[in-house]
Every structure is written in C-alpha cells, then in structure tokens.
C-alpha cells in the first residue's frame, strides 16, 4: 500500500499531467472550454503550492525553536528571528482581519515595515555583491593560463566599452564591446541554451516515463 | 481549422523529432542492444572527493538547490539538484559526514526530506538521518543567500555543493565558500551565472551537465540511453542551423518560413 501511495500514484499523476499539458499547449486553442479547463488545473497546482507556505513557516519556526531549546550556536539570533516572524505575521493578519473585505490586504503598517525596513536591508545585502564580484574578478583575471589571459583581455575591452571613459579614450571601444556581446557571447549563450533545452526535454521524458525517480522518496 | 495551434507547428514537429530520437535511444539501451558510454563529468565525480574531505576534517557539507521550486519554469534544474542531493546524502551517510541542506522554496521541503532519507537508507544508515539538518531559512533571495552564507561561516563547512537554478546569489555563496577554504562543486543551467561558478568554484557543471546528473549517477542503462538520444537531438538542431544558414545565404527561405508556422 505504501509503495502504491508513495511511488506508483505520484508517477501516474506525473505522466497524466505531463501528457495533458502537452496536449493542451499544442492542440487546444486558447479560449476554448477545454483549454480553460487545463488552466483550472494549473490554478489547482497554485492552490496546492500555496499550502507549502505553511510548511515553510512551520519548518522555520521549528528550526529556530529547536535551536533555542538546545542553546545551539548563536541561539540568541534565533530569538530575534522568531520575534520578527511572529510580529510581522500578527501585523499581516491584523491588517486582513480589520479590513472590510478580509482579503489579502496589506495594511499601512505592514507596507511600512516592508518598505522601510525589509527593502533597505535587502538592498544592503544586494549591494555587497559588488565587492564579491571585484574579489572574484581579481582571481579570474590573473594571467595564469591562456584561458585566464583571454578572459582578462575580453573583460578589459568590455569594461572600456561599457564605461564612458572608454569611449572618451577611443571611440572604437564601445563598438568592440558591442560586437563581443552580440557575436561570440551570444553564440556561446545559444549553444548552452540549446543544450539545456534538449537536456530538459530528455530529463522530462525520463521523469514522465518514471525512469528517473531520484527526486522521489524511499521505495518502501 | 488548424489541428495544431497557430505558431506552434514548427515547435511541435521539432519536439516530435527530438522525442523520437530520445525514445529510440532510450529503448535501444534498455533492451541492451547498445549501451553508450558517457564521458566522465568532473563535477559529479568531485562530489565524492568533497564528501571525503568533509569527513576527514570532521566538518559539515553545505548543499543548496538554488532559487527554484517545483512550480516554476526552472523546476527541471531543481529536480536535477535534488537527484544529486540524494547521491550526496548517500555518500555522506556512507562516510559519516554531516550534510546540511538549505531549501529555498517551501514546495521542495517535503521532497528534500524524502530524497535525503532515501540516500541514508541506500547507504544502510537510515537511523543516522536527522531531519533537523534540512534547514529552511526563508523564501526570499538575499535573506536566504545570507542565511546560507552565515551558516557556511559559522559551521566552517568543508565542502559546499550548489546545484540548481541560481541568480545573483551564486557569487555570494561561491565567494563565501572560497574564503572559508571549502572545496566547492557548483552547477547551474542559468547561463548568466555559469561564469561565476566557474571562477569561484573548484568544479563546475555547465548547463546540460546538470540535467544529465541523475542519469549519470544512477548508471542505469535506460537513463544513459536518453542522454545518447539527447546527443542525436543536438546533432539535428545543429544540422538544421547550418542548413538554415546556407539556405538563407542562398536566398531560399523554406526553413525560415517553416519555423514561422
């Protein structure tokens, strides 16, 4: 019974849903009732996926509660996380409860916390990426091999072509940068994209036929 | 009235050609008539080295599958990442190393529990599976990335493995691992992030190598056959491209017209 529930039924659902979606995409005209029915199927998936948010919340609360109870590493930060999650959850739920429609309403306080606290912290973290790029570029651009040398030359030309100072030094730099971006770079990208697309189809076939089951649970 | 939706005729024909090629190769390998050999993928071979190193150092392994879930268009990378996670879990269980997995999307948390547990069962160490080692840090890009970065620094992980769809956080994670001296294996099919992994990691899986991982690691002839079929499909696409270039240069637009259907 367990094997049927945990293995065969998911594989059957995967095959049937994949087959339906291929049929819908190619053979059911947009706007027809049959196509709308498949759109409803996609919406059902969204509903199922939405419940995963609860799983995420429970997993987050559980992890930090366990860490506090065990006095694990940096457990005091877990307290801050829990306080943050719970307060923001209360603010959100209070906003929904007090709004006349009771429907996914972001109250003023909810938006303020998001825009004035969260967004700034998020952008601060994002901005640190510039320093990571600089340190990675320093290592990548060292003249250690032929490939690194090509990377250094191309990188330098791109910098000169994209920065205003490059065009001021010599007007040919922007054109070179444009050519590098549009010709060799695009060729490489498309080669990777074609390989990925065919690889994805191959993977999808293996999954739809139940040949690749590595993403499923134990066979018991 | 068209049988196939407008604008999708060429796409459908191409899909059928690719499907036939992959299925023929898959079933040929399945019957044992011919089982192709596949080249070694250094990035996948390196996972055992990474797990071994973590075991020797007595430090954990950090594993991530990027920002993908199971409902978005990048799901195939996430699923490939989960397949490699299962293999990594099996190796970690076999050697007795601690594996920390950081899911990004809550939809993959239940799958991750199953996949990691399956790895421990395959290694014959089901009791060693600890659900607390699957740590959900939140589902927003940079908070998640810095959560993982923090864990890498705090735990001083000996090996970091990143397999899946990545965006701007790829370099944050890879650089964190570089500074802690961890051995790093990373792979993504997002072409705009591959260069960061190549630069900052010890081993990188490029594009389709990630999708081939499940078949490669399973060593199942049927799955390997599908990779063989995918190679035929690539030859077809390259041949069509070359023929299209020649025909267009000669002023014949037959292929262009067909792909506009």
Residue A1 has pLDDT above 60, yes or no: no
pTM score, whole prediction: 0.93
Q: What distance in Å separates residue B99's CA from the closest CA in chain A? A: 16
Q: Are A56 and B106 in contact (CB under 8 A)?
A: yes
The predicted pLDDT at position B72 comes to 84
Residue B66, both tokens: 């990027």
Contact: B189, A200; criterion CB under 8 Å? yes
Name the minimum distance, in Å, from the CA of B252 to any CA of chain A.
23
Q: What is the C-alpha separation between B80 and B37, in angstroms, rounded?
A: 20
Q: Which fold has domain B42-211?
A: Rossmann fold (3.40.50)
Give the rounded percent of residues in chain B with a pLDDT score beyond 70: 100
Find the domain containing A175 and state its range.
Answer: 130-196
Residue A118 lies in a domain: no
pLDDT tens figures, B18-29: 999 999 999 999
Residues A51 and A143 in one domain: no
- A86 domain residue, yes or no: yes
Q: What pLDDT was estimated at residue A213?
A: 80
Average pLDDT over residues B45-68: 96
Residue A214 has pLDDT above 80, yes or no: no
Q: Measuring CA to CA, how many Å separate A27 from each of A12, A15, A189, B16? A: 22, 18, 31, 14
Burial of B214 (0-12, 13-18, 19+ CB in 10 A): buried
Q: Does one domain contain both A95 and A134? A: no
Q: Which residues contact B40 (CB under 8 A, 6 or more apart)?
A: none
Mean pLDDT of chain A: 89
Domain ranges in chain B? 9-37+227-259, 42-211
Task: Please indicate, yes or no, whether residues A166 and A89 belong to a single structural domain of this protein.
Answer: no
Interface test mutation site (partner A, options B21, B86, B91, B118, max chain A beta carbons within 10 A): B118
pLDDT tens-digit series, residues A157-190: 999 999 999 999 999 999 999 999 999 999 999 9
State percent of chain A over pLDDT 70: 96
What's the confidence (pLDDT) of residue A7? 80
- pLDDT tens, A35-47? 999 988 888 888 8
Is A154 within a domain? yes
Average pLDDT over every residue of A48-73: 91
In a domain, A33, yes or no: yes
Q: Is the confidence at residue A102, as pLDDT, over 70?
A: no
In a domain? residue A218: no
When CB atoms are compared, the residue of A129, A202, A219 closest to B22 is A202
pLDDT (0 to 100) of residue A86: 95
- Share of residues in chain B with pLDDT > 90 (%): 85
The residues with which B101 forms a beta bridge, in sequence order, are: B63, B134
Eight-class DSSP state of A29:
P
Residue A92 belongs to a domain: yes
Question: How many separate domains does chain A show?
Answer: 2
Q: Do B154 and A206 touch (CB under 8 A)?
A: no
The domain boundary, picked from A50, A84, A111, lies at: A111
Is the CB of residue B201 less than 8 Å from the CB of residue B186? Answer: yes
Shared-domain flag, residues A101 and A181: no
| DSSP calls for B3-30 | SSPTT-HHHHHHHHHHHHHHHHHHHHHH
């Amino acid at each position: 019974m367990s094997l049927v529930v945990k293995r065969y039924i998911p594989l059957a659902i995967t095959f049937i849903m994949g087959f339906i979606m291929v049929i819908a995409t190619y053979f059911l005209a947009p706007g027809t009732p049959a196509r709308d029915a498949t759109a409803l199927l996609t919406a059902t998936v969204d509903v199922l996926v939405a419940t995963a948010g609860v799983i995420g919340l429970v997993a987050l609360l559980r992890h930090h509660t366990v860490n506090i109870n065990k006095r694990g590493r940096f457990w005091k930060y877990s307290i801050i996380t829990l306080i943050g999650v719970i307060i923001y959850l209360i603010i959100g739920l209070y906003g929904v409860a007090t709004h006349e429609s009771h429907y996914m309403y972001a109250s003023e306080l909810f938006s303020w916390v998001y825009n004035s606290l969260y967004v700034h912290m998020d952008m601060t973290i994002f901005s640190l990426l510039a320093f990571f790029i600089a340190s990675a570029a320093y290592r990548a651009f060292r003249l250690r091999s032929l490939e690194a040398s090509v990377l250094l030359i191309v990188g330098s030309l791109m910098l000169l072509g994209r920065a205003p100072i490059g065009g001021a030094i010599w007007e040919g730099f922007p054109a070179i940068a444009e050519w590098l971006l549009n010709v060799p770079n695009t060729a490489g990208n498309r080669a990777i994209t074609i390989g990925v697309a065919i690889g994805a189809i191959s993977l999808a076939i293996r999954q739809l036929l139940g040949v690749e089951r590595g993403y499923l649970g134990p066979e018991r | 009235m068209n049988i196939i939706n407008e604008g999708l005729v060429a796409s459908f024909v191409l899909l059928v050609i690719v499907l036939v090629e992959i299925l023929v190769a898959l079933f040929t390998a399945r019957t044992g008539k011919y089982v192709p050999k596949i080249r070694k993928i250094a990035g996948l071979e390196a996972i055992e080295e990474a797990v071994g190193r973590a075991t020797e150092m007595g430090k954990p392994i950090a594993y991530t599958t990027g920002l993908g879930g199971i409902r978005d268009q990048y799901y195939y990378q996430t699923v490939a990442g989960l397949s490699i996670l299962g293999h990594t879990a099996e190796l970690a269980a076999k050697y007795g190393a601690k594996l920390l997995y950081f899911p990004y999307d809550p939809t993959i948390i239940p799958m991750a529990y199953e996949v990691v547990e399956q790895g421990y069962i395959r290694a014959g160490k089901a009791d060693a599976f600890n659900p607390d080692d699957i740590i959900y840090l939140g589902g927003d890009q940079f908070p998640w990335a810095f959560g993982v970065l923090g864990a890498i620094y705090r735990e001083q992980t000996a090996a970091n493995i990143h397999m899946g769809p990545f965006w701007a956080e790829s370099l944050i994670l890879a650089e964190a691992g570089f500074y802690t001296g961890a051995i790093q294996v990373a792979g993504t099919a997002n072409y705009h992030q591959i260069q960061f992994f190549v630069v900052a990691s010890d081993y990188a899986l490029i594009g389709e190598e990630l999708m081939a991982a499940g078949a490669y690691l399973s060593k199942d002839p049927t799955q390997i056959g599908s990779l063989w079929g995918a190679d035929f499909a690539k030859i077809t696409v390259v041949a069509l491209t070359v023929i299209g270039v020649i025909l267009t240069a000669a002023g014949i637009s037959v292929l262009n017209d067909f792909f506009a259907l």
